[in-house]
Amino acid sequence: MLNFLDTIEELSKSVNLHEGKINKFTREILINSSKALDCDRCNAWLFEQDQTQLVSLLSYTASNDLFSNENSLDKNKLPNYFKFLKKNELIVSDNAGKEPMNIELLDGYLIPNKITSMIDVPLRSEGKMIGVICFEHVNKKHSWSYDEQKFTQSVAQLLSLALETKQKREYRQELEKIISQKEVLISEINHRVKNNMSVIISLLNLQKQKTKDVFHSELLEDVKDKVYSMSMIQEQLHANGDVDSINFGGYLEALITNLNGSYGEEMHVRFDLDIEKIGVDVSKAIPCGLIANEILTNSFKHAFNDQNQSPKLGISLKKSNDAVDLVFHDNGPGFNLNATQVGMGLELIKDLSEQIDGSITFNVENGVLIKLQFPIS
């Protein structure tokens, strides 16, 4: 009994078991089981997917220390043996040639291999039979003891565990391959979208150069800024390798720098920034970026005129519980909320805030203060 326990303990510590290296672990099992049971032959079989054949995983003969593969066992030729395997925890044959369940095996397997006594233990995984492991005496009859039977069942459980580990490792490798392919595909899509937006911006710049009046020139510049605000989000996705969210604080800082370069070079605007690094889902980042672009553009265009000697723009981005608070405050002259000429810009901001389930408030008493709040989850 002690020999059996030592063998099980040694096998259970095998690196090949825990790494699912099934061929190497099967060799360990067959050699050590043959020694522990003092039997000449040990072999393992696995079912084909449709369970109509048992295919030899590996066979070991101790007398000549030889590994080989047996011929497959066909269910159509051995219907009763297959049925008996599936119904029992193990098949014990002290006199293998005389047992009724082995009659189908006589001519094709037992007699050619001189098998006199054997134990067949089904291999099971998640309640399903996946194969069988066999322990066989040659040229001598043997009466299998209770301890030997329990030992063979323990060995079968270890081999089943190794097979499960191998399958899980293959699943994991396949999943990692799929994820890697997906990441490459998404990266390529982001790269192409970014390039396409760059082309659009270039085309808008070319069209702007052909305009013959200020109105159309400013209109194209306004459209270009909106496209650029979206392209910056795409650029962050491509650069960071994150397909789900962007650092909206970093995005805001880049947007401010870009718009200040376009509109504020000669205005000497003083910026008061209190911006946290907050991850925002890309589905909300694009509408939120367009809102920020619209508000900032309006400040540069309308708040910082010749009468404003000390132009100032304050921007705050804070996370509060599960919401984000985004505040813009300029020290310009303000505007009439009910005036028709500002209606379109306000409507765009309101529509975009609704897209992200946000709420927006306006205060035009002391410059313009706009506060946007939206859920982050």
Residue 208 CB-density burial (10 A; 0-12 exposed, 13-18 middle, 19+ buried): middle
**What are the residue ranges of helices labelled H in the chain?**
2-12, 15-18, 22-37, 79-87, 146-210, 214-240, 248-263, 282-298, 343-355
The pLDDT of residue 214: 80
- The enclosing domain of 340 has a CATH number of 3.30.565.10
Do 336 and 252 have their domain in common? yes
Do 19 and 149 have their domain in common? yes
Q: Is residue 77 part of a domain?
A: yes
Which residues is 122 bridged to in the sheet? 132
Domain closes at, from 172, 187, 207 = 172
Residue 112, domain extent: 2-172
**Helix, strand, coil % over all residues of the chain, rounded to 5:** 55, 25, 25
The continuous run of DSSP H or E covering 116 comes out as strand 115-125
What are the φ/ψ torsions at residue 335 (nearest 5 degrees)? -155, 165
The pLDDT of residue 324: 92
Domain closes at, from 144, 172, 200 = 172
The pLDDT of residue 127: 81
Do 262 and 125 have their domain in common? no
The pLDDT of residue 297: 86
The pLDDT of residue 339: 60
Do 30 and 115 have their domain in common? yes
The pLDDT of residue 85: 86
Do 150 and 252 have their domain in common? no
The β-bridge relationship of strands 312-320 and 270-275 is: parallel
The pLDDT of residue 113: 93
Residue stretches of the chain with pLDDT short of 50: 340
Do 21 and 146 have their domain in common? yes
Do 144 and 251 have their domain in common? no
Q: Is residue 224 part of a domain?
A: no
- The enclosing domain of 121 has a CATH number of 3.30.450.40
Q: Is residue 329 part of a domain?
A: yes
The pLDDT of residue 131: 93
Q: Is residue 138 part of a domain?
A: yes
Do 150 and 265 have their domain in common? no
The pLDDT of residue 377: 67
- Number of independent structural domains in the chain: 2
Rounded CA-CA distance 164/155 in Å is 14
The pLDDT of residue 1: 57
Q: Is residue 217 part of a domain?
A: no
Q: What is the pLDDT of residues 92-142, one digit of tens each?
A: 999 999 988 889 999 999 999 999 999 999 999 888 899 999 999 999 999
Q: Is residue 193 part of a domain?
A: no
Rounded CA-CA distance 358/333 in Å is 26
Rounded CA-CA distance 75/79 in Å is 5
